[in-house]
Amino acid sequence: MKAQVLANEALNAEVFRLELEKPDGFTFKPGQALQLKVPDVANPGALLDRYFSIASPPEKQSLELCIKKQGAATEYLSGLKAGESVELAGAVGAFVLEPKPHRHFVFVSMGTGVAPFRSMVASRLFRDNLPLSTLFLAGFRHAEDILFGEDLSRLDYIAWVPALSRESQDGVFAGRVTAYLKAAEIPFELSEFYICGSADLVKEVRAILEQKNVAEESIHHEAYLHPNKKKSW
Ligand SMILES: Cc1cc2nc3c(=O)[nH]c(=O)nc-3n(C[C@H](O)[C@H](O)[C@H](O)COP(=O)(O)OP(=O)(O)OC[C@H]3O[C@@H](n4cnc5c(N)ncnc54)[C@H](O)[C@@H]3O)c2cc1C
């Protein structure tokens, strides 16, 4: 199915927000990714299968993605203009919000890994089943790289904690999300952890959580792997 581009704007030097019209009858669960079929410019007629987490909640009329320019597909998508369209194969993935109002929630992301959690925390499913507390820990390099900081910092039912690995700024944690997790007073054994970002981030955070005796069933992750790459844990 085709979806029309409603908006395409830079969020920082490398990341852009692509807003698509939601096709009639299209449904997804907070946390899922959109499978796009992107024309392969180097290979006319061929399509590249690419996945991007949906950054908006299911209740929103449109679909928002935040995409980092990496290679051919993301370069093509970054050039799309409002009114043009892109081929959608559907919503995919088992990385979905499972509400647990009797538990604490900790979301850990790096870069564009913030996307599925933005969808989750804004969803009705989350707001109607709030956990005991929610820590949203999001890692970026510099302050100018922070994604969706304005709208996430406004949500009074979550603690939004951006962490900057290459810069220190008043009131913002200086260091990697892994450093924050190691030092923070989190009720580890009473919490559900959701991790999203590179395979290295997932590996490192999982290792910390294992040391803190977090049960395997309380760790949920999405690794932004290339479609041809195998997971390594
Ligand atoms: C479920 C899911 C959700 C995702 N959500 C997002 C998102 O919300 N935002 C976002 O920006 N990205 C997201 N990604 C990552 C994104 O889909 C990939 O980075 C995608 O490959 C980019 O496509 P590209 O053609 O632009 O770059 P590619 O050419 O695919 O290159 C991307 C990276 O993969 C490496 N690579 C290239 N070819 C191979 C190969 N054959 N084998 C192994 N590695 C290779 C490249 O060196 C580069 O580092 C997600 C991935 C998954 C699986």
Domain contains 166: yes
As a whole number, mean pLDDT of residues 111-132 equals 98
Q: Which of 58, 92, 126 is the last residue of a domain?
A: 92
Q: For residue 232, what pLDDT band results from cuts at 50, 70 and 90?
A: low
CA pair distance 34, 225, nearest whole angstrom: 14
| β-pair partners for 219 | 193
- What CATH number has the domain bearing residue 112? 3.40.50.80
| pLDDT of the residue at 170 | 85
The minimum-distance atom of ligand 1 relative to the CA of 75 is 26
Query: Locate tokens 């290679």: which residue?
Result: 71
Mean pLDDT of the residues in the chain = 96
Query: What is the tens place of the pLDDT at every residue in 85-109?
Result: 999 999 999 999 999 999 999 999 9
Domain contains 164: yes
On whether both 116 and 216 belong to a single domain, the answer is yes
| pLDDT of the residue at 171 | 83
Domain that holds residue 191: 104-223
On whether both 114 and 215 belong to a single domain, the answer is yes
Domain contains 174: yes
Query: What is the tens place of the pLDDT at every residue in 150-196?
Result: 999 999 999 999 999 999 888 899 999 999 999 999 999 999 999 99
On whether both 108 and 71 belong to a single domain, the answer is no
Q: Measuring from each residue's beta carbon to the nearest atom of ligand 1, which residues come in under 6 Å?
A: 33, 48, 50-53, 65-68, 70-74, 93, 112, 115, 222, 224-226, 228-229
As a whole number, mean pLDDT of residues 203-221 equals 97
On whether both 23 and 76 belong to a single domain, the answer is yes
The minimum-distance atom of ligand 1 relative to the CA of 224 is 51
| pLDDT of the residue at 226 | 80
Nearest Cα residue to atom 4 of ligand 1: 52
Q: Which of 47, 70, 92 is the last residue of a domain?
A: 92
Q: Which of 70, 92, 114 is the last residue of a domain?
A: 92
On whether both 164 and 211 belong to a single domain, the answer is yes
CA pair distance 212, 76, nearest whole angstrom: 43
| pLDDT of the residue at 229 | 72
User: What phi and psi values does residue 111 have, to the nearest 5 degrees?
Assistant: 60, -130
On whether both 154 and 207 belong to a single domain, the answer is yes
**Contact between 143 and 172 (Cβ < 8 Å):** yes
pTM: 0.96
On whether both 82 and 187 belong to a single domain, the answer is no
| pLDDT of the residue at 115 | 98
Does 5 have pLDDT greater than 80?
Answer: yes
On whether both 86 and 147 belong to a single domain, the answer is no
Domain contains 167: yes
112 three-class SS: helix
**Contact between 122 and 25 (Cβ < 8 Å):** no
CA pair distance 221, 203, nearest whole angstrom: 10
Q: How many domains does the chain have?
A: 2
On whether both 75 and 6 belong to a single domain, the answer is yes
Does 231 have pLDDT greater than 70?
Answer: no
CA pair distance 152, 145, nearest whole angstrom: 14
Does 230 have pLDDT greater than 70?
Answer: no
Query: What is the tens place of the pLDDT at every residue in 33-90?
Result: 999 999 999 999 999 999 999 999 999 999 999 999 999 999 999 999 999 999 999 9
Domain contains 228: no
On whether both 9 and 53 belong to a single domain, the answer is yes
